[in-house]
Structure 1
Amino acid sequence: MNEEHKTDGGDMSRRIAQRRSELGLTRDEVAEHAGMDPGYVRYLEEHPARLSRESLYRLSQALRTSPDHLLGADTDTPPGAASTAVAEPQLRTLSADECRELIGPGGVGRVAFAEAAGAAPTVLPVNYGLSDDAVVFRTASHGIIARNASGPMSFQVDRLDDTMSEGWSVLVAGRARIVEDAAELAALREHHSLRPWAGGDREAWVRIEAEQITGRRVGGRTSG
């Protein structure tokens, strides 16, 4: 069955155009990667349209995002709320190198730590980068994360695609510390232009030295 996904016109068009602009791609380049006519890409950026599941997937791949993001279905709904489209999803363990490759570009992940022995973990989102084998991020100098950045801390990041029922998750376990060395701070500021979404004072840099990196990927059965 050839499922169709109707765009909402302006919102869908803006998401396509905005994502293309973020990547610095021309319409011709997007069209080439998606196997579409450049005129059709222009049409999608300017008019409502009905996309087949295959076309939506190819366009999202060309724009390095997910079908759900283009549809606007990932803004207010928890990941995984949609029904599973893959009849026999397969779960695969990722190697440490595969995990590093997935989280290497940086983005938004979650840190987890216990404020006291026996306390339930506190989990908070952070904008992060990867420095060698360590996760680095900025936080408030006197905030809850900084107060607990001198011991065990875990970091988790994932990417889910409800439409294609695919996704991956990576967990980094290690020890955290506040970066205080002037030379190390200068190097982090030079190589990581982290801009926390939360805004405000985020002058403290935290480094989680990885002791263990694990991950899993779920998706459809591979052929072969």
Structure 2
Amino acid sequence: MGSDLSRRVAARREELGLTREEVASLADMDPGYVAYLEEHAPRLTRQALYRLAAALGTTQDYLLGADTAVPPGSATTAAPLPTTTELSPHRCMELVGPGGVGRIGLVAGGDTAPTILPVNYLVRDGVIVFRTAEHGVIAAHLPGQAAFEVDRVDGAMSEGWSVLVTGRAEPVAEESEAVALRVRAPVRPWAGGERDLFVRVVPDRISGRHVSGRNLH
């Protein structure tokens, strides 16, 4: 099975309208090796990666998927027109289950637009859990209805998924429960600093979509 690097090499070559033989000539590689690169998870030397990126008119970071300084989806892609499929709530929770970085959106009384902030989160017993500052922006909006979004996007391949959880966001007020969460949900705050207030988002509605040529649900 090909790696992300393999897919990016193949996509960039097709984007340029080049054959494997032409890329091999430009990169001073054997055509068979270029084919291998596109179909397997290769180990490239720095010199080989440099030559390959130069032959494809792109950067080493792009081929490695490290071009994270630009918004998702801004890279050109040679992937075919992708399809969008809805995900079941169960599959949505499977995707967000490992935890990571999500975005919490809350609307305070009198506001006309939501406040949206990134947070590191974990999922425990079907509930989204994260930590924030006790007197910070998020805490000032609690308790209340909230939207919590997590997504993963590969802009170069026009592939990814997005999950939206809506429900009630509330601070964990009981000290015993907060102590238990410190043990069971040792989530690292996104922005660092003193962020000792645990917040949970109890889902009312879970929805999601997957964009790809493959079916994920």
Q: What TM-score do the two structures reach when normalised by structure 1?
A: 0.70
Tell me how far apart the structure 1 counterparts of residues 187 and 133 of structure 2 sit (CA, whole Å): 13
Q: 1:72 aligns to what?
A: 66
Of 159, 165, 188, the match for 2:152? 159
Equivalent residue for 2:35? none
State the match for 1:122 in structure 2: 115
Instruction: Name the residue aligned to 1:49.
Output: 48
Match of 2:184?
A: 191
Pairing 1:95-114 to 2, within 5 Å after superposition: 95-114=88-107
Tell me which amino acid in the other structure corresponds to 1:71.
G
Distance 2:127 2:63 in 1: 29
Greater gyration radius: 2
- Runs ≥4 in structure 1, deviation > 6 angstroms? none
Listed as ranges, the gaps of 5+ residues in structure 2 are 1-8, 14-38, 54-60
- Residue aligned with 1:175, SS: strand
Residue from 128, 150, 166 that aligns with 2:143: 150
For the 8 Å contact 2:144–2:170, the answer to whether it is kept is yes
Residue identity over aligned pairs, in percent, reads 45
TM-score normalised by the chain length of structure 2? 0.72
Distance in 1 of aligned mates of 2:116 and 2:122: 18
Is 1:132 the counterpart of 2:125 in the alignment?
yes
Q: What root-mean-square deviation, in Å, do the aligned CA atoms of Structure 1 and Structure 2 show?
A: 2.6
Q: 1:170 aligns with which of 163, 171, 176?
A: 163
